[in-house]
A and B are shown apart, each in its own frame.
Chain A
Amino acid sequence: MKRLTYQWKNTRRDKMCILTFLLPVFVGIALRLISGVNFQAVGETSFGVLKKGLSDEAAVWLEANGSVAQYESESALREAVNDPSTQMIGVLDAGGGIRTLLSGDELDLYRVIAETLPQLYERRTEKLPYKRTVVPVQEDHDGLKSLLLAITLVTAMFMGCTFNAMNIISEKEDGVALINSILPMTARSYILQKIMLGIIGGTASTVITAVICVRIPPARIGSCLLLILLSAYISALAGLFIGYFSEGMMVGIIYIKIAMILFLAPPIFFYLMVPDGSVWRGLSCLLPSGASFYGLMDLLGGNPDRLGLYILILLAHAVVWSVFYAVMRKERVLTGRLF
């Protein structure tokens, strides 16, 4: 405990450091203030039409199937369809029916929709020959808002990693690491002391952000806390690994960058691009950040069925990497190479 106090004293002087831990909190507040209206459109099929270019009937029918944007001229419409960041399908009048425009670089989903849209339109008046059972899924409708929130929370957790890595590297550069290695200290107490502040900082920052912008039912607070704690622990541990492997600041920062890309990018990427339940999505769950990200998304979306699984994955990561780190460090000390 006493040693931890020293660590804390060492950090406390660093105002900037404390500020950065608080930054996710500020982002959380900002997200809370942004209204959810802007976030609706993602996930819908988007259609582009000409102003007054379609019959009223067709316009109403299109609006039932996706979001519709209007353009003044055909060239503006073509430009919007060709815009590489959109998956927009252009819809034009074709004497009673409709015809579609596509830029050719869309996902298969939108290609098939564009190909079949005119035929679907032709049978718009026919009644669906099935009894329609749509099981409602309780969901947060601000899909993208919760995505931004989850990114903020995962970043908050990741702060611990950066903090620890930088802490160890600067100790190495100042020579404190050499002193540490002759102190009578077990590997476990070294690990505990080194990562405690990172965990506490990461957890505190995540919890405060979560309190500000997420409403989680009381029954799930426990599992949410467990998820946050485990993720913060793993990220702090990642910081230890980076500190262990890097010789200098420069190398360390590059490792942090790579870890950040590998940690933050895949879950977000797979969440946006790959439908739930596919192999890639399943694989990305194996990454610790994937598990915490999806766990958070599920918590935010209100379906905690798989939360247990995610916590298990995180737990497994925590155990495996801790053991790995302890063994690795022990070996290095035994072979006489100091840090």
Chain B
Amino acid sequence: MGREFFHLLKKDGRLMLSGKFFLLALGSLVLYSVYIHFVYVNVNQEIYPVYLYDPKGKQAISTEYVTRVDTRERLEAACADRYSAGVDLSSDEPELYMLSSGLDTVDHYRAAWAWAALDEMADGQVQITGTNSREMKNRREITAEFLFFELSAVGFLGLASMLFKEKQMGVIRVHAILPVSRSAFIFSKLLWILASDLTFAALLTVINLGFPVGVTVLPAVLVQAGILSLLMALIGFLCAIGLPDFRQFSLLYLVIAVFVTTPVFLAGQTGLSWGWLKYHPMYHLFMSMKSAYFGAPVKAILYYLVCVGGIGLLFLLAHRALTREMVKEG
């Protein structure tokens, strides 16, 4: 049994190598890391800029928040982004000019802010309660999101493409007459996917969070990565057995990737909450991944029980589907 399993492992490893599976995972790793390091880390949003048109020099300004412009036209052009506010001091009655942002509260605040900025209000005090800087938060957040996306994509796709190839080559038919258990057939694939996903997760985390922080969150992240990887790989297995060809599978995959993960990402990024979102299983998986990255892993036992139960159930389904497929293939 042990030897047979080892040979199965070797065969699946070769199959993954020939499908350039690892090379492509490495490519994704580089793509994500470059994006995080050079783009996402710098994401910021400045306070509403204030533009001042003051030809008579009524107001002296020294604050960084206010920019002088030479003409009324420039003032209006600068405010066209619906974000900036303009102050025109050219006539006797000073005027605050801005384009509505579409939200009354934001307009109200922008007006008050423009006045305050011109009056050179000093920076005040604020109590900081958290431990993350903006950069670190950005890093943790986007790494969690990329890992989530990659795991729900690669585990799913990797296993499915491997299985489709085997289906085409007739390996499933051959397996039906071999004295190898069906569980071993599924296990060896799962093991490879799990190992490569965990390595990917570890590398992505350490590269993008830095070694000291990366190592502290890594255990919790790996647990979540393992759960997600197994779940998605088994779903991929089921889909690959159920669907007749890879083209159909890939379209289904596109739909899953976009429509299943988009609401989850939007909720994660903007803090929006929809009532129905708590019934969305991916949402819980995503939030657990995210909280693992922020150093507060989910402690609810129910969550883990459901995950393990889900994996077990999917495994049984996959086993049944494989059996049925082998019977069908003769």
Interface residues of A (CB under 8 A from B): 14, 16-17, 20, 23, 27, 38, 41-46, 63-67, 78, 81-88, 90, 99-109, 111-120, 123, 128-137, 139, 141, 143-144, 148, 151, 155, 158-159, 162-163, 166-167, 170, 248-254, 256-258, 260-261, 264, 272-277
Contacts and interface: CB of A to CB of B under 8 A. Distances in A.
Contacts of A100: 126-127
Kindly name the residue among B46, B82, B134, B250 whose own CB sees the greatest number of chain A CB atoms within 10 A. B250
B253 interface: yes
A166 B252 CA distance: 12
Contacts of A116: 113, 116, 121, 123-124
Contact of B250 (A81, A103, A141, A256): A256
A256 B248 CA distance: 14
Contacts of B248: 14, 16-17, 20
B109 to A, nearest CB: 4
Given A131-B93, A249-B246, A272 B134 contact: no
Nearest to B83: A275
B7 interface: no
Contact of A167 (B44, B128, B247): B247
Given A45-B106, A130-B95, A250-B19, A144 B47 contact: no
Nearest to A80: B271
24 contacts: A66-B105, A82-B130, A84-B290, A85-B141, A101-B126, A101-B127, A102-B128, A103-B128, A107-B134, A114-B126, A116-B113, A119-B121, A119-B124, A130-B115, A135-B100, A137-B100, A139-B100, A143-B102, A148-B262, A158-B254, A170-B245, A249-B161, A250-B158, A272-B269
A148 B137 CA distance: 25
Contacts of B279: none
B129 A103 contact: yes
Nearest to B81: A277
B161 A272 contact: no
B24 interface: yes
B98 A133 contact: yes
B265 to A, nearest CB: 9
A123 B271 CA distance: 31
A183 B99 CA distance: 61
Contact of A84 (B100, B141, B246, B267): B141
B258 interface: yes
9 shortest A-B CB distances, which residue pairs?
Answer: A103-B130, A105-B137, A86-B271, A20-B251, A130-B96, A277-B81, A166-B247, A112-B47, A16-B248
B254 A159 contact: yes
A200 to B, nearest CB: 16
Given A113-B109, A272-B270, A251 B254 contact: no
A162 B257 CA distance: 13
B97 interface: yes
Contacts of B131: 104
A251 B47 CA distance: 44
A128 B81 CA distance: 23
Contact of A109 (B46, B108, B111, B271): B46
B132 A84 contact: yes
Contact of A163 (B97, B99, B140, B251): B251
Contacts of A151: 258, 262
B116 A119 contact: yes
A131 B48 CA distance: 19
Contacts of B95: 130-133
Contacts of A43: 101-103, 106
B178 interface: no
A88 B271 CA distance: 10
B88 to A, nearest CB: 8
Contacts of A42: 270, 272
Given A66-B109, A120-B112, 15 more contacts: A17-B247, A20-B251, A43-B106, A46-B271, A87-B271, A99-B126, A102-B126, A103-B130, A108-B134, A109-B47, A116-B121, A133-B98, A148-B262, A257-B28, A277-B83
